[in-house]
Structure formats: structure tokens, C-alpha cells
Structure 1
Amino acid sequence: MRFLGNIEARTDAKGRVFLPATFRKQLQVAGEEQLILRTDIHGKCLVLYPESAWNRRLDEISAKVSEWDEDEQMVLREFMAEAEMLTLDGNGRFLISKRLLQAAGIEQAVRFIGIKDTIEIWAAEKTEKPFLPQEEFASRLKAIMGKQQ
């Protein structure tokens, strides 16, 4: 499953938001009913994981974390503590908790951005400018694509 899109929406007074129809259709076709929402580890946004994508991430982390290493267990705890399980209601909406809204700096306007097998949710005003200036983006992409595997 690969999400693609850059769609603006609004939360209501309770913090509910409609998941864009294109993303809902993809989840439905894939049979994904459970979703996991957590803060992003790098930026001030939220990441919505279909359950299968979440389980893959969790398996990757768990395989590298020793249950005997306290520092590694703290990283796993932090990763898990930020996560909330959710489902869409009959109208295709889900509730973003106040805690997560605050962590991402979201007030009402949001932007959904499909990133590989997840969907990022940003405060819309944070996405008004490009994430990187065009020249810097081109330079960084060239460096990444030139790496040896």
C-alpha cells in the first residue's frame, strides 16, 4: 500500500476530522480497519499508520531492541507511549486527542500528506512553504540517490 496525496481538511470543535476519501478507499480495498496515530519522531506532525504498517515498524524496532538493555527499552516505551489506536466512524471521521493536537500544533486546518505506507497530518500553516527550497531539495535528493547500497 502506497499513499499519495496532499489534501487539506479541517478538524471540528471536538478534534474530529474526515480522512480524505482517496485514503479511505485505499484502506478499504486493503482490508485495513484499525489505524494507529502517533507523533512523528522527526517533526511536528502526526503519522497515521494502517495496522499492518504499524506492525511492520514495531517488528523492526522490537527485533533491534534488547529486553535486557534499559536504554533501548526506554526508546521502545517512548515509541509505544505516543501511539493511539483508532477506527473511522461511519462517516469516515476519526478523533485526534487533545494531547496529539497540541503536540503537532494543530488548531483546525490540517493537511494530509501520503508518505509511502503512512499518512502524515500537519497543521496546514506549517505546509504553506516547501519543506526544502528547490535547490536544496535537488541537491539532497541527488546525494541520496548517488549513495551506494
Structure 2
Amino acid sequence: MRFLGNIEAKTDAKGRVFLPATFRKVLQAAGDEVLVMRKDVHQKCLVLYPESTWNRRMDALLERISEWDDMGQQVLRQYVSEAEVLTLDGNGRFLIPKRYLQMAEIEQSVRFIGMNDAIEIWATEKTSEPFLSQEEFSQKLKQIMNSGVKEG
């Protein structure tokens, strides 16, 4: 499952927003109807995970945390408690709860950004934050693609 694109939308007065049709089609093709939303760990944006993606990530986290590790349990508790299960209504909308709107500093305009197996939701005013300049992007991509390349 791969989400691609950069699509603007608006929330209504209740905080509902339409999931862009291109992303809904990817979900439908994969048979995923349930989404999990949480604030991103690194950025001031929200992330939508299809349930299957969320479950894979949770399994990976649980493999690394012992039930006897107090700090690990605190991290797990915070990670899970900041997540919300969502389903789309018949029109393809979902509600972004007020606390999530505040966490991501979203007022009304949002930008959905496809990020491989997840979807980010940014306040439109903040969408320059996660991007590099074109020159820096080119240099970093070249570095990444050249690392680990076999010589010869």
C-alpha cells in the first residue's frame, strides 16, 4: 500500500474533513477501512495509518519493549494513548478531534501528504516545514542513493 500526493482540503466547523479520493481508493484496494490517527513523533502534523500499517508498527514496537522495562512501558503507554481509531463516514469524511487539531495547530486549511504507507495531515500554513530547499533535497537524495552502492 503506497500513498502518493500532496492535496489541500478544508475542515468544516466540527473538524470533519474529506479524505482525498486518491487515498480512499488505495485504502479500498487494500481492503483497509479503519484508520488510526496520532500526532507525529517528530513533526507538528497528524499521521493517518491504515489499520494494517498501524498493527505492523505496533508489533515492531512491542518486539523491542519488555513488559518488565518501566521506561519502555511508559513510551508504549504514551504512544498508544495518543492514538485514535477512525472510520470514514458514507461520504468519505472523518472527524479530527479538537485536541488533535490543537496538537497540529490546524485551524481550517489542511494538506494531506502521502508518505508511503501512511498519510500526514499538516496545517496548510506549516507545509513548508517538512521540506528541504530544492538544492538541499537534491544533495541529500544523492547522498542517500549513493550510500551502500557497490563499487565496480
Q: Return the TM-score normalized by structure 1.
A: 0.95
- Cα deviation for residue 145 of structure 1 reads 2.2
- The 3 A distance-change label for structure 1 pair 9 and 115 is same
**Amino acid across the alignment from 2:74:** M
**Shift of residue 65, structure 1, vs aligned partner:** 0.8
Distance 1:147 1:7 in 2: 32
Percent identical across equivalent pairs? 68
Residue number in structure 2 paired with 1:106: 106
1:27 and 1:43 mapped to 2: Cα distance? 24
- Partner secondary structure for residue 72 of structure 1: helix
**5+ unaligned residues in a row in structure 1: which ranges?**
none
Residue 53 of structure 2: aligned partner: 53
Q: Which amino acid aligns with 1:20?
A: P
Tell me by how many angstroms 1:131 deviates. Answer: 1.2
Please name the residue that 1:36 is paired with: 36
* Partner residue, 1:122: 122
How has the CA–CA distance of structure 1 residues 62 and 129 changed in structure 2, closer, same or farther, with 3 Å as cutoff? closer
Which digits, 9 at most, give the CA deviation of each residue in 1:57-93, with x for residues without a partner? 0000000011111111111111101100010001100
1:17 aligns with 17
Q: Distance in 1 between matches of 2:70 and 2:48?
A: 28
> 1:129, 1:55 → 2: CA distance?
28
Residue aligned with 2:100, SS: helix
Distance 1:4 1:85 in 2: 22
CA-based RMSD of the aligned residues comes to 1.4
Alpha-carbon shift at residue 128 of structure 1 (Å): 4.7
How many Å separate the matches in 1 of 2:133 and 2:111?
Answer: 19
SS of match in other structure, 1:48: strand
Separation of aligned partners in 1, 2:84 and 2:133: 33
Corresponding residue for residue 135 of structure 1: 135
Using a 3 Å threshold, how does the CA distance of structure 1 residues 11 and 143 change in structure 2: closer, same or farther? same
In structure 2, C-alpha distance between the alignment counterparts of 1:47 and 1:55, rounded to whole Å: 14
**In 2, Cα distance between the equivalents of 1:31 and 1:57?**
18
Unaligned runs of 5+ in 2: none
Secondary structure at the aligned position of 1:17 is classed as: strand
Q: Which runs of 4+ in 1 moved over 4 A?
A: none
Match of 1:148 in 2: 148
Alpha-carbon distance in 2 for matches of 1:80, 1:130: 24
State how many pairs are aligned: 149
Once the 2 structures are TM-superposed, how far is the Cα of residue 125 of structure 1 from its aligned partner? 1.0
Q: Partners in 2 of 1:103 and 1:136 — Cα distance? A: 28
